[in-house]
A = this chain, B = another copy of it.
């Protein structure tokens, strides 16, 4: 059984170019070259090619495949385990991407379909932007720090301070909310304090706070599963409770 490039290509389902390339980079040399300069492959080459394609299928780079198939004593399973790790990381990355894309799609559609959610979309965007800005500013601050001296340190400190404050605020919203839940009264002092903290927290992300938007967002917490899931994670009913508190706080509750 001797094969020319095309024969072997057909057999293996790859192009002749690929075979020449494999020859070129030395991972699969033909058994011999005939008088006309044609590449002639034999049984051994077929087997080797199958091995190569197998690893390729597993996503291993040709460079690594080369190591695997050329060195006979190479620890294949070790290499594969290593590779598996990489694949796993890749998958995690992909999952993250998909989640983010999903979110963004939801936001975009919400924007068009429901004016209510419009603000929420802005909110999400803000979150992302804020994150990026924070990151970017930190970088700049750091570099600026090195270059310009301490002139930028002020900015950096402010940004950091703000950031910390936001985190602290977010935490106290949750904390107060928990305590308020115990009372069970969304109009009570604790619940109203929660709503107020929530407003403060929100103000970091929204350029211009309005009661309407705040109330809308609260409603959203209940309407949107993602948020419901997030808040109710601690205890079922939290999202609804927070909404009620905010509706009362903003004076936009319409349950007579």
A interface residue numbers (CB < 8 A to B): 10-13, 50, 53-54, 57-59, 76-77, 80-81, 83-84, 87-88, 90-91, 94-95, 97-98, 100-102, 104-105, 108-109, 112, 121-122, 124-126, 128-129, 132, 135-137, 139-140, 143, 205-206, 213, 216, 220
Tell me how many chains of this kind the complex includes: 2
Residues in B neighbouring A213, C-beta threshold 8 A: 10
When C-beta atoms are compared, the residue in chain B nearest to A220 turns out to be: B11
Determine the distance from Cα of A222 to Cα of B108 in the docked complex, in whole angstroms: 52
Whether the Cβ atoms of A83 and B58 lie closer than 8 Å is: no
Whether the Cβ atoms of B57 and A128 lie closer than 8 Å is: yes
Interface on chain A toward B: helix, strand, loop, or mixed SS?
helix
Whether the Cβ atoms of B98 and A88 lie closer than 8 Å is: yes
Whether the Cβ atoms of A104 and B80 lie closer than 8 Å is: yes
Residues in B neighbouring A50, C-beta threshold 8 A: 122, 129, 132
A105 touching B128 in the complex, CB below 8 Å, given contacts A11-B139, A94-B87: no
Determine the distance from Cα of A59 to Cα of B91 in the docked complex, in whole angstroms: 13
Report the 4 A-B pairs with minimum CB-CB distance, sorted nearest first.
A77-B108, A91-B94, A84-B101, A57-B125
Whether the Cβ atoms of A77 and B105 lie closer than 8 Å is: yes
Whether the Cβ atoms of B87 and A98 lie closer than 8 Å is: yes
Whether the Cβ atoms of B80 and A125 lie closer than 8 Å is: no
A-B contact pairs, 5 of them (CB 8 A): A10-B143, A53-B132, A57-B97, A57-B122, A91-B91
Residues in B neighbouring A58, C-beta threshold 8 A: 97, 100-101, 104
Whether the Cβ atoms of A136 and B12 lie closer than 8 Å is: yes
A121 touching B54 in the complex, CB below 8 Å, given contacts A101-B80, A105-B84: yes
Determine the distance from Cα of A139 to Cα of B10 in the docked complex, in whole angstroms: 7
Determine the distance from Cα of A81 to Cα of B102 in the docked complex, in whole angstroms: 8
Q: A57-B97, A57-B122, A59-B97 are in contact. List 14 more A-B contacts (CB 8 A).
A: A10-B139, A11-B140, A11-B216, A12-B136, A13-B126, A53-B125, A53-B132, A58-B104, A77-B108, A80-B108, A84-B101, A84-B105, A88-B98, A94-B94
